[in-house]
């Protein structure tokens, strides 16, 4: 069997008193899209940068394609793709020039035309990178990460700052990489993105992994219940709603309630009865499928994007 794409064991990294990464372990198999998911400051970037060799960890072990990080040779680097934050990178070169320059670093690279069309930057190919919008810069950094057709691509929050259309386009690119059998390690704080793209996700909070599995399995494990959302102006409060039949937990945010129910029909029937008995109207009742966002909320009591 081939070695895993990435192995991380007991990774640790502090900045002064801040334990940014506090004993993180996981394995990414070949061909997997692996997500590192968590709110701002959870330690995602530090983790991925320690794997890429861009930061020096305080402790732990990292192997990429079976090779210890310290020994990552030029030959191994040819097989990796790393999306760097683009701010200030060769500001005077045009998009096309930057792509050509980076292509020259690799033994094998996709043609510049193909890269431009892949990330939708044909129209700005002769513009200096300093004049690009945030989203365009983001797409250029993606093209740079993928130009050598890497076996393992590391993408750090690749869709932050992209409009919905560009985000969907990026999702298609990642799905294409998976179809080609490549491995993708992606960090994100967009739950729907992780759910759409990732075979497995590690949910990070305060430098630790608090859950790791496929999105479907995480949802199934934590939610035998279905979220029922509603508003009930002037009606009963959270504690009364939490006591309704089949409700196992409940939360409130800006006057909107979420009841986690094991039997939606029973809960809703009781809810209508309660509202009628108190002479108040139920508003915007919605039953939805639980998401990774619900998993995070349940695990931490917070939303991933506050
Ligand atoms: P974001 O989504 O905001 O990028 P993240 O999950 O990637 O967050 P990190 O950037 O890894 O998190 O940061 C983890 C913690 O380490 C945060 O508390 C952050 O403020 C701190 N941190 C990160 N880099 C440094 C640094 N160079 N010096 C000091 N503290 C840092």
At 291, give phi and psi (nearest 5°). -125, 175
The whole-model pTM stands at 0.82
In tens digits, what is the pLDDT along the chain, a chain of 306 residues?
678 999 999 999 999 999 999 999 999 999 999 999 988 889 999 999 999 888 999 999 999 999 887 666 777 888 999 997 666 678 899 999 999 999 998 888 999 999 999 999 999 999 999 999 888 888 999 999 999 999 999 999 898 878 888 899 899 999 999 999 999 999 998 888 999 999 999 999 999 999 999 999 998 888 778 889 999 888 788 999 999 999 999 999 888 999 999 888 999 999 999 999 988 888 889 998 888 888 888 888 777 765
H or E stretch at 211: strand 208-213
Which atom of ligand 1 lies at the shortest distance from residue 204's CA?
A: 6
- Which residue puts its alpha carbon closest to atom 16 of ligand 1? 20
Q: 158 — phi, psi (to 5°)? A: -70, -20
Name 64's bridge partners. 6, 67
Helix (H) or strand (E) run with residue 294 in it: helix 292-300
H or E element at residue 103 = helix 95-103
Compute the Cα dihedral for 289, 294, 295, 296 and give only its sign. Answer: positive
CATH 3.30.230 fits 224-289, yes or no: no
Fold of 6-219: Rossmann fold (3.40.50)
All structural domains of the chain with their residue ranges: 6-219, 224-289
Mutate which of 21, 41, 206, 296 for ligand 1 pocket (most atoms within 8 A of beta carbon): 41
pLDDT of residue 30: 96
Distance CA 205, CA 212 (A): 12
Confidence at residue 93, expressed as pLDDT on a 0 to 100 scale:
93
Give the containing element (helix H, strand E) for 177.
helix 164-179
In this structure, are residues 233 and 280 in contact, taking their beta carbons and an 8 Å threshold? yes
Query: Which class for 115: exposed (0-12), middle (13-18), buried (19 or more C-beta within 10 A)?
Result: buried
Which residue CA neighbors atom 26 of ligand 1 most closely? 15
CA distance to 42, 166, 226, 301, per residue, from 230 (Å) = 31, 32, 13, 19
The residue whose CB lies within 8 Å of the most ligand 1 atoms, and thus the one to mutate among 38, 43, 188, 203, is 43
In eight-state DSSP terms, residue 3 is: P
Ligand 1 centroid – CA 223 distance (Å): 31
């Amino acid at each position: 069997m081939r070695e895993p794409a990435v192995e991380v064991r007991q990774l640790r990294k502090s900045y002064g008193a801040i334990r940014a990464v506090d004993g993180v372990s996981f394995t990414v198999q070949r061909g997997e899209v692996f997500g590192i998911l968590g709110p701002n400051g959870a330690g995602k970037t530090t983790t991925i940068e320690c794997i890429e060799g861009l930061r020096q960890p305080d402790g732990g072990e990292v192997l990429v394609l079976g090779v210890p990080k310290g020994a990552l040779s030029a030959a191994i680097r040819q097989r990796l793709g790393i999306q760097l934050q683009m701010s200030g990178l060769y500001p005077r070169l045009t998009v096309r020039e930057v792509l050509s320059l980076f292509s020259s670093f690799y033994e094998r690279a996709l043609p510049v035309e193909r890269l431009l069309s892949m990330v939708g930057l044909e129209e700005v190919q002769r513009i200096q990178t300093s004049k690009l919008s945030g989203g365009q810069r983001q797409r250029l950094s993606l093209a740079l990460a993928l130009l050598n057709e890497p076996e393992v691509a590391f993408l750090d929050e690749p869709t932050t700052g992209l409009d919905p259309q560009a985000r969907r386009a990026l999702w298609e690119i990642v799905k294409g990489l998976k179809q080609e059998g490549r491995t993708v390690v992606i960090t994100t704080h967009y739950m729907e993105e992780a759910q759409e793209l990732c075979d497995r996700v590690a949910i990070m909070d305060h430098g630790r992994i608090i859950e790791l599995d496929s999105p479907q399995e995480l949802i199934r494990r934590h939610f035998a219940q279905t979220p029922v959302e509603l508003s009930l102006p002037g009606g009963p409060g959270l504690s009364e709603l939490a006591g309704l039949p089949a409700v196992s937990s409940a939360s409130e945010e800006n006057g909107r309630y979420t009841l986690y129910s094991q039997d939606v029909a029973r809960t809703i029937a009781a809810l209508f009865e309660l509202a009628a008995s108190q002479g108040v109207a139920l508003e915007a009742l919605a039953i939805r499928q639980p998401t990774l966002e619900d998993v995070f909320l349940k695990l931490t009591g917070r939303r991933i994007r506050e």
